Structure 1
Amino acid sequence: MKGHGNKPESHGAVLVVAMGTTQEEGRAVVDRCIELVKKTYPKADVEFAFNYEAVRLVLKENGEEVLSPLAAMTRLLDKGHSQVVVQPLYLTPGMGYHELYRIIVALNDLAGAHGAIGFDGILISRPLLMNTEDYFEVAEIIDGIYAGSLAEDEALVLVTPTSEGGADTSLCQMQMVMDDICKSGKIVIGAVGGYPGVERAVKRLGHVGAKKVRLVPFSLVPGIHAWIETSGESNPDSWKKALESEGYQVTVDEKALGEHEEIISVFAGRLKDAVGSHGFLK
């Protein structure tokens, strides 16, 4: 009835959250994920946010305003959406994922018919790796993308950037599952500033008899720092330089893992699981 302040009709909203990137290829991954979400849930309001303030400030200097996850969530609630699903474009449930989770828990304390805001709730979907079956699913995809193109004396090294801080246990589990899927052992997982580090990777490379190494950023939304840490020519501590100093012939793949369509498509499944768990986005 007019004059009673009725809420506008809503079919729910999806917020896609990435750490942040100023790189064209990284932004293409975010755009592709948004496109996939809109195709899957055409009635939902779909927005995105970047977690890193430094990235948001750079983009703002260039004339683009990108919201933080908190600002984006509250804006969706202000627009009248009572059901919001957050899909993080994160590799593991590391520090970034837990920061996001704390924001959602705090907002959900205000939910409910008698809550301070009065919305149904905010759901957070899984990152790429969380449940045991996630690791096997992703390991199969990685094996399918790379294993067949490796030379006999070549190994693949996937390196996570520092943005995946607190992910050591997930990466160790990923390596164990990867060994189950890729029997040659020629797919190696590593972490910048974490474990398994470059020394551990060198030991594994020696064990499988590799002479050549193909480096790939183990990143979903590649940013400039991922490339600098992996192969930056001006970075004396890059993995490329470290492996070359051990005598390996090193090449760097043109694509980060997240740029492959097979990986992007996984997030559609993650989102469907979250939506189905509470019957959101009807």
Structure 2
Amino acid sequence: MKTIFTSFFMLLTTFGLLAHGGGNYEHSDFFGSMQIGDKAAILMVHFGTTHDDTRALTIDVLNDRVKQQFPDLEVREAYTSRIVIKRLGDRSIIKADPLEVLQQLKSEGYTHILIQSSTIIDGKEMESLERNAAEVKDQFKEVRVGNPLLYDPDDYEAVIAAITKGADKNLAYVLVGHGTYDSTTAQYAMLDYMLKAKGHQNFFVGTIEGYPEYDDMLAQLQQSGLKKVVLVPFMFVAGEHAKNDIEGDWKEELEKAGYTVEVKMQGLGENVEIQDIFINHLKFKTRHRKLDIMEKKAKYRQTGEKED
């Protein structure tokens, strides 16, 4: 049985007791409230994919790395896409959604849950996951949800460093994200802006659904004068969208526009440095608790401390 003793030992030896809270967080030891008999688990949450090749290189690899980093914690997995779950189920590959796994963990006596998603932006998928966590919060002693890949400016800098390493300035790299039709699509525009601000003028961001659209990307690409393009899925897995929309539609349209196009059929989840960012987000949540806006306002009223 994995108990407080092994978990606390792991925390001390692997992560240390450093770090402090700031901004939206306060320093808080996730394992601090554990008592004898309590059990902690990690739930890795993925949108999912029906493509076995990319799943093995991304989802499975990240799950295994988390198990290595947290050897004394139970690690489970959940998928959020109902369609993916159904299609895999038709092939006798059983995947459960986050609520189902959380309920199972509760029935097995787990008391402390860390949740980490492989989501790219802080959008609808994260909103849904936060609601799942809120729904079961009272059933556990502690539930914490890690941040998506892109959350604060430091994340963007780390991602940019990871994806631009070894880039050829004579090539145009077009990063194609899934996108979204609500305001959170601005995160893709922020990535594009920060890439340019850091001197990566040959990197361009577009989305399949949302902004920047294909035409927005193309306008920037045309201004660059570059004629050789590398299409790169800006998605955790190189699955349905990468193989159909990117390798199909986007490649075809760019070739019609006179570009020589290569597709780098590799999900972000294959990049070790991207994996490291997700793992670091998980580690961060073992030492910090997120404050909601009402907690911050209450703290300010009591202490006079400035709100960030």
TM-score (norm 1): 0.85
**Equivalent residue pairs, number:** 253
1:12 aligns with 2:40: yes
Q: Give the equivalent residue in structure 2 for 1:41.
A: 70
Question: Which of 140, 143, 161 does residue 122 from structure 1 map onto?
Answer: 143
Alpha-carbon distance change, 76 to 165 in structure 1, aligned in 2, over 3 angstroms:
farther
Equivalent residue, structure 2, for 1:171: 188
Per-residue deviation, 1:48: 0.5
Q: 1:225 aligns with which of 241, 244, 249?
A: 241
CA distance in 1, matches of 2:141, 2:202: 47
**Preserved contact between residue 158 and residue 189 of structure 1 (Cα < 8 Å):** yes
Whether 2:225 is the aligned partner of 1:209: answer yes
Q: Which amino acid aligns with 1:155?
A: A
**Partner Cα separation in structure 1 for residue 223 and residue 39 of structure 2:** 54
Partner of 1:91: 120
Relative to structure 1, the CA distance from residue 64 to residue 179 in structure 2 (aligned partners, 3 Å threshold; closer, same or farther) is same
Instruction: Give ranges in structure 2 of 5+ residues lacking alignment.
Output: 1-34, 290-308
| Structure 1 counterpart SS, 2:241 | helix
Which 4+ runs in 1 deviate beyond 3 A?
7-11, 164-167
2:264 pairs with 253, 264, 268, which one? 253
Contact kept? 2:62, 2:269, Cα under 8 Å:
no
RMSD (Å) for aligned C-alpha atoms: 1.8
Matched to 1:99, the amino acid is S
Q: What is the CA distance between 1:203 and its match in structure 2?
A: 1.1
Amino acid at match of 2:118: L
Give the secondary-structure state (helix, strand or coil) at the position aligned to 2:188.
helix
Cα distance in 1 for partners of 2:278, 2:197 equals 23
Percent identical: 28
1:61 to 85, 90, 106: 90
Could you tell me whether the CA contact under 8 Å between 2:115 and 2:145 is conserved in 1? yes
> Is 1:17–1:89's contact at 8 Å kept on the other side of the alignment?
yes
Deviation of 1:121 after TM superposition, in Å, equals 2.4
Determine if the alignment matches structure 1 residue 131 to structure 2 residue 147: no
Unaligned runs of 5+ in 1: 1-6, 112-116, 233-237
How do 1:77-116 and structure 2 match up within 5 A? 77-108=106-137, 111=138
Distance 2:110 2:215 in 1: 49
Cα distance in 2, alignment partners of residues 20 and 244 from structure 1: 30
Task: Determine if contact 1:161/1:229 at 8 Å carries over to the other structure.
Answer: no
Partner of 1:3: none
> For the Cα contact (< 8 Å) 1:69–1:100, is it kept in 2?
yes
The CA deviation at 1:257 is 2.3
Q: How much does 1:10 deviate?
A: 4.0
CA deviation after TM superposition for structure 1 residue 120, in Å: 0.9
